[in-house]
Amino acid sequence: MGCYYEFFQKIQFHSMKSAKSSKAWIKKHVNDFFVKQAKKEGYRSRAAYKLIEISRRDHLLKPGITVVDLGATPGGWSQVAANKVGWSGKVFSLDILEMGALPGVTFIQGDFEEEATLIELRKKLGGKPVDLVISDMSPNLSGIGISDQARSMYLAELALEFSVEQLNLGGNFLVKVFQGSGFEQFLYTMRTSFKQVVTRKPEASRGRSNEIYLLGLGKQEKILQSLSK
């Protein structure tokens, strides 16, 4: 009987600890500078400032270009992209979750892992060459590190394959990744597909997060080798 009592005490302790951590995260999030700034300036997420910083540094978003935003919901990156490319440019956004309409943005709701979604995206593009692909995709986290890392890298690989297929020669690709298993192989593959690959850790990325952004500059005329080999 004593062992069961001890077991339930441990469960209760971990539940209380988890609840405290959640409350602490919510409090920190609410008081976050970029969260407050996003509300003030009308952006849908704090992530908008990540793209703003990277684009300013690397001159990614320019009037008249065509951009594809993968994992777009709630729309912070699409907002930034649409504002920068203007009415002479195009922004095509995709996410498995619904996203509210944005001026100058064509949205496709669907699972990026499914061929039917890619067909729909290509149809919307109408053969229009793409200048920039941006991907802030993340899987639904399970809390199991190995599994979450594998799913994250898989989405990054899909985004890279799409970019190599759809980008203009000289086009650019920005993708969120998490450092861990599969990262070095992915980085190597990007380097075979772009003239230059650089890492970016924007100020709006939370310090405790191991997320970084890889930026491929200048797509090269090279057939993408299978990442599974």
User: Which active-site residues does the annotation give?
Assistant: 176
For the chain, the farthest-separated pair of C-alpha atoms sits apart, in whole angstroms, at 73
**Residue 65 CB contacts under 8 Å (≥ 6 apart), including other chains:** 85, 89, 90, 131, 132
Closest CA to 84 of 54, 53, 61: 61
Parallel, antiparallel or unpaired: strands 66-70 and 90-95: parallel
Grouping H, G, I as helix, E, B as strand and the rest as coil, residue 224 is coil
Q: What is the DSSP letter of 140?
A: P
Q: On the CB side of 72, how many CA atoms lie within 13 Å of its CA?
A: 29
